[in-house]
Every structure is written in C-alpha cells, then in structure tokens.
Amino acid sequence: MEYILELIDKYLAIGEGYFTIGFLFRSLEEELDPNSLSLYEYFNNFSSVDSEKIALDLKNSNIPYDKANRIVDALNVLKEVFTKYKVNSLDELSTIILNRWGNHKEYNEELIRKVLLIGDSSPKLLKIYIDMVNNNMIEDPNMIIGTSSERLYTMLPEDESCYYSNLKVISDFKVDWTFYCNGSNPFGRYCFLYNESKGEKERQYYHDLIIAAIKGSCSLFNNKFRLHPYSEPTEEPINYGFISAANISGNHSIKDIDFINELYQLLLTDSLFNHQMNLYTEKNEDADKVVKVLKELREKGNNTKRW
C-alpha cells in the first residue's frame, strides 16, 4: 500500500505542476501561452524534459527569473518520475498504479481520498474507488474527503463509470445529510445537478440518485439544522422544498414537473411516507404534532392528487 500511495503522490505532484504552469503564465504582464513553448507536450513524454533548454527558452521569452524557476521545477518532477519508475506519461503511471492495486486490494482512507482528489481528471484511476465501494470496503460515507472537510457522499466522481457505485454510496443509511458541501445543501445540490444534466444518461443518474437519497437516510421533512465545520448548527428550510412544485422557480429546486409528480406519487405510498415519518421522528422530540399535520396533508393529497 505504501508504494501505491507513493505513486499516487507523484501523480498529484505532476497534476499540481501542470496547473502551476498555467497559473504562472496567466499572471504574466505580457500575454504568453505555455503552448507557444510546447511546455505541455512534456506531460506526454517525461523523458524529453531538458532543464537547461527549457530554462533558456523561458529566458529568451522574457519570463521573470523566479517564475521560470518554478516552471522548471514543475517539469523536473516529470523527469524524476521517468528516472525512478520508468514511466513516460500519466497514462503509464496510472497503469502501474492499477496493476499494483489489482495485486494488493485493501481499504485505505488516504488512498480513497487522494483518488477522489484526482477525480475525473483521471477516470482510469477511479477504478480504485469503484472497487472499494462495490466490495463494501468503505464503512463511512461521511468520511472527510475534500480540503474543506467535504464528505464523501458530497464529492462523488462525475464520470459515468462511477454511477452505479455512487448510487450505492447514496443508498447507505449511514449517510448524514446535515453535512454541507462548500456551504451548499447536498440534497439541493443534487437537485440542481439534475436540472443541469447534459444528456439523458446523466439525467437518469441524478433522477435515480435523488430517489435513492429519499429512500435512504435523507429526510425531506427534517433538515432543521445544518452542520458546518466553521459554525454552530443553524436553521435551514426542509428538503421538501427542493422537490415541491410550489418552489419550481427556486435556484436548486427541481424544475421538471413530471419528475416532481413522480416524487409526489412516491410520497403518497405507504412505504416511502412511513419511512420519511420515521426519519423525521428519530430527530425530533416534538415530532408528534408535525407528523399529525403531515398525515392529514397526505390524506388530503390522496383525495385531491396534490398536497
């Protein structure tokens, strides 16, 4: 496992170098493009890195000395990786990591965190995440993944190869939906992503994810408090608002009336309604009065086809 983590760290370092180069060029007073010096080509051919030539080209392009040094340092990482591991590209490095993983599959929190930080920039490496989920290695879907304390279930990879595994994570009854992702309600965020879906497959994925959430541990009628790593719990509107036709104009509310009606019909069934009432009751000592009102609304909904 230590060797896999070592290789993953090299992958992250290379990715950081790639973005550093872009950032440094954007910060220049003159408009220059890294492609004009073919700098990005080195990321597909590690062995071709020639520090002296690169430094000279940067000097001739009037790149400030301090920024030129940082660019050379970023590219030297490529040459170091080639020298030590005999790999000439990120794709080859990914292959070595996956081969090693195939022979030493074991749960490691640091590994899953780093794989998800790499995320969709390397769909190939997401196989590690898929294997961990599908083999039930991940015990806590609320584990901290992001650099700002984002939880696993709020940072699911977007690559379609992960759709099945993501749904499995969301369906886990241990998911605690009171943890926010960068200040956003995670359930509301997934409703927003449903609205923004770019194709039928992606749209169906978020459709299934939302249903899996409310059939799992996501309470529609109780999001009384949200938790944020930098503040005390604060009042928050209930999640039901995100799937209500009355709020269809809301920023994160579902805008597809057919999907809203589908969710509404699901909520009229005994199984989902009772499940949601149980979720509400678990977290509210004074739930009886509210549950009574919700049951009356449901009865009215059964008679009028609308809450």
Sequence-distant (6+) residues with CB within 8 A of 49 are 42, 75, 76, 78, 79, 82
Q: Taking residues 269-290, what's their average pLDDT?
A: 79
**pLDDT band at residue 179 under the 50/70/90 scheme:** confident
Rounded Cα distance, 173 and 175, in Å: 5
**pLDDT band at residue 117 under the 50/70/90 scheme:** confident
CA within 13 Å, CB half, 239 = 29
Domain boundaries, the chain: 1-139, 165-307
Q: Are 194 and 207 in contact (CB under 8 A)?
A: yes
Q: Phi and psi (nearest 5°) for 144?
A: -75, 125
Read off the pTM: 0.84
Q: Which of 28-32, 86-90, 151-155, 166-170 has the lowest mean pLDDT?
A: 28-32
pLDDT in tens, 288-303: 766 776 777 667 655 5
| pLDDT in the model for residue 157 | 92
Sequence-distant (6+) residues with CB within 8 A of 198 are none
- Residue 231 pairs with which residues in a beta bridge? 228
Q: What single DSSP character describes residue 229?
A: T
Q: What single DSSP character describes residue 239?
A: G
